[in-house]
């Protein structure tokens, strides 16, 4: 469990520039959602793989004993990996059984649709309507079956789902005209951006250069828009975490599900949320063997608290 601020986004994707937020829900399990249903473990074997902590193997039980102490638990993913989502669900299930888990933050839903998620969790609408009204297919688009067990678990236990992501509309304006393109209301709803991490900026610059044509020079103005866009993405989600705790139960615990690039190395959501509220957190990043090799040495200190290699 980390109590020190961490720095920078490990994996930068240009998808921010071409793709498609989350006001934290004020609905808790004590507010209109009814009593928490009894816990019924899913059972079955753990997802395959070896758990690592700073280059040494550990067990799922040992990991969860440590992770359960955190107030925020970040679990990364590759979005189209069923194995990654199976791990996320097992972590959620275990934390719920321990009695502290009160919410699940999701990169997959955008801020303007928080009310729709509340209606779904409270049982007032079904999955089909929830997906339609959150514009899931357009704004996220990954196979619904990958995430269904997670949001069905949340609904069955009345665990609030928190829409963390920034909206497509805000992204588009920033992509085309920078922060100055936003109207007053949009600017007021956004958190301050943390742009002062020189190590993060240098890392993002290297990734940015990797997408240039041979001999093409860096366009400093374009890079700055790109960098601010990447920071916005993480700062908005970190802000959603902070807002959730403002109305959460006193001993509440939040799980955050997001792409591993927003979690690994702690430069993204974890470090930025910690910078705002100082709440202890833990990070778990699943990696396939190929992803592990691409990351270099994910068992190193600082990449994540726990790395789950397999799939």
CATH number of the domain bearing residue 208: 3.40.50.11550
pLDDT tens-digit map of 229-286: 888 889 999 999 999 999 998 889 999 999 998 998 888 999 999 999 999 999 999 9
pLDDT at 3: 46
Asked if residue 78 is part of any domain, the answer here is: yes
Res. 129 pLDDT band, cuts 50 70 90: very high
In a domain, 39, yes or no: no
Residue 177 counted as domain residue: yes
Q: How many domains does the chain have?
A: 1
pLDDT in tens, 1-60: 654 333 223 332 323 322 333 333 333 333 333 444 444 455 567 898 889 887 789 999
For residue 41, tell me if it sits in a domain: no
**CB-hemisphere CA count at 13 Å for 17?**
12
Q: Helix, strand, or coil here: 250?
A: coil
The model's pLDDT over 89-102, given as tens digits with 9 standing for 90+, comes to 999 999 999 999 99
Among residues 150, 8, 7, 13, the alpha carbon closest in space to that of 75 is found at 150
Quickly list DSSP for 176-198. HH-GGGS-HHHHHHSPPP----H
| Average pLDDT, rounded, for the chain | 84
Is residue 59 a part of any domain in this protein? Answer: yes
* DSSP 8-state secondary structure symbol assigned to residue 2: B
**Residue whose token pair is 């040494």:** 56
pTM: 0.83
Confidence tier at 228 by pLDDT (50, 70, 90) = confident
The range of the structural domain enclosing residue 295 comes to: 15-26+49-309
pLDDT surpasses 90 at 295: no
Q: What is the CA radius of gyration of the chain?
A: 19
DSSP single-letter state for residue 49: S
Please report the pLDDT score of residue 43 as a whole number: 57
CA dist 100 and 107 (Å) reads 21
Q: Is residue 174 part of a domain?
A: yes
Please give the residue that has the higher pLDDT: either 70 or 37: 70
Strands 161-165 and 101-110: parallel
In a domain, 10, yes or no: no
Which is nearest to 264 in space by CA: 283, 291, 241, 289? 283
Residue 200: which of 228, 181, 175, 220 has the closest Cα?
228
Q: What mean pLDDT is predicted for residues 303-311?
A: 90
Query: Is residue 31 included in any domain, yes or no?
Result: no
Nearest of 25, 73, 22 to residue 235 by alpha carbon: 22
% of the chain with per-residue pLDDT over 70:
86
**Which residues, in sequence order, are CB contacts of 148 under 8 Å at separation 6+?**
127
For tokens 């927003």, name the residue. 262
């Amino acid at each position: 469990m980390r109590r020190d601020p961490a720095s920078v986004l490990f994996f930068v994707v240009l998808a921010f520039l071409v793709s498609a937020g989350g006001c934290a829900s004020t609905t808790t399990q004590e507010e209109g959602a009814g009593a928490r249903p009894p816990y019924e473990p899913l059972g079955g074997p753990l997802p395959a793989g070896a758990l690592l902590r700073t280059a040494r193997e550990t067990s799922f039980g040992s990991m969860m004993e440590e992770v359960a102490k955190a107030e925020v638990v970040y679990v990364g993913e590759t979005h189209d990996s069923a194995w990654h989502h199976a791990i996320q669900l097992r972590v959620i299930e275990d934390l719920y059984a321990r009695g502290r888990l009160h919410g699940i933050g999701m990169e997959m839903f955008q801020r303007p649709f928080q009310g729709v998620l509340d209606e779904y969790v409270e049982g007032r609408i079904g999955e089909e309507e929830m997906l339609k009204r959150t514009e899931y297919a357009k704004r996220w688009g990954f196979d619904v079956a990958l995430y269904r067990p997670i949001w069905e678990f949340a609904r069955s236990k009345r665990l609030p789902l928190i829409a963390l992501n920034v909206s497509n509309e805000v992204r588009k304006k920033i992509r085309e005209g920078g922060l100055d393109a936003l109207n007053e209301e949009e600017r007021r709803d956004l958190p301050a951006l943390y742009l002062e991490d020189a190590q993060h900026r240098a890392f993002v610059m290297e990734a940015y250069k990797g997408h240039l044509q041979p001999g093409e020079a860096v366009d400093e103005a374009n890079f700055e828009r790109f960098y601010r866009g990447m920071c916005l993405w993480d700062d908005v989600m970190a802000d959603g975490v902070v807002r959730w705790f403002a109305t959460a139960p006193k001993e509440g615990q939040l799980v955050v599900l997001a792409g591993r690039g927003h979690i690994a190395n702690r430069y993204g959501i974890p470090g930025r949320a910690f910078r705002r509220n100082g709440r202890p957190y833990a990070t778990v990043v699943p990696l396939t063997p190929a992803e592990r090799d691409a990351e270099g040495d994910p068992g190193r200190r600082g990449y994540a608290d726990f790395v789950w290699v397999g799939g």
